[in-house]
Each structure stands twice: as C-alpha cells, then as structure tokens.
Amino acid sequence: GAGVSQSPSNKVTEKGKDVELRCDPISGHTALYWYRQRLGQGLEFLIYFQGNSAPDKSGLPSDRFSAERTGESVSTLTIQRTQQEDSAVYLCASSLGGAIGTQYFGPGTRLLVL
C-alpha cells in the first residue's frame, strides 16, 4: 500500500517568508509525528498528533512553528518568518496508535532558507 508522502520534496525560500509543508500519513494510522533533521545531525522531535487528543507540541523550537492535523489524515507544518537556521529536512512519520516503535517515515521535505 501507499506509504507516508510529503510535499514538496524540496523547498527553497527567502529569509522572512512563510512556508507550509504537507504530510499524508498511511491510511488508518492514528499517530503522526514531525521531526527535523539538520545536516549531519540526528532527528529532533517537533510535534505529535494522536487521534483527537491535544497535540504534544513540546518539541517546537519557537512560536514561528505551528502544525495542524485534520482528523486522522493530512497534517501541515507551517514555519513563519523563516530563518536560515530553519534549513533542514523535515520528516513526517505515522504509526498505528499502539506501535510506538514502528514509525513509518515519509521521504521528507528539504527546506533551504536563503
């Protein structure tokens, strides 16, 4: 079946502009996660959605970052007033609610802020 998809695959933007990244999880997966991976670094947790529960936003680095999810489907991550340090790969993952370890990742969106 279809895996996690993300769009766009690459995004180049100018400092100060807003960007919106999209994630389509695997159908039926109730949990959705956003991570950020800077070049040569590990993954940083950003935000987690589980069903209709309030999202865990504890990983968002600043109030310029926000995310939404409609039900148990698509999620968008928005970065306002982008900065050069926001340049990274943004990875989305989804999992069945009870399977913490089996997170399936999308291919990521490579964001470059000039």
Partner 1 sequence: RKEVEQDPGPFNVPEGATVAFNCTYSNSASQSFFWYRQDCRKEPKLLMSVYSSGNEDGRFTAQLNRASQYISLLIRDSKLSDSATYLCVVNQDTGRRALTFGSGTRLQVQP
State the residues that interact with partner 1 by CB under 8 A.
Answer: 31, 33, 35, 40-43, 45, 48, 50, 56, 58-59, 91, 100-103, 105-108
Max intra-chain CA distance, the chain: 40
Considering the complex, what minimum distance in angstroms separates the CB of residue 59 from partner 1? Answer: 7
Considering the complex, what minimum distance in angstroms separates the CB of residue 6 from partner 1? Answer: 9
Name the DSSP class of 97. Answer: T
23 or 113: whose CB is closer to partner 1?
Answer: 23
Name residue 113's beta-bridge partners: 13
Considering the complex, what minimum distance in angstroms separates the CB of residue 34 from partner 1? Answer: 9
10 or 18: whose CB is closer to partner 1?
Answer: 10
Q: Are 76 and 11 in contact (CB under 8 A)?
A: no
Which residues, at least 6 apart from 57, have a Cβ–Cβ distance to it below 8 Å? 47, 67
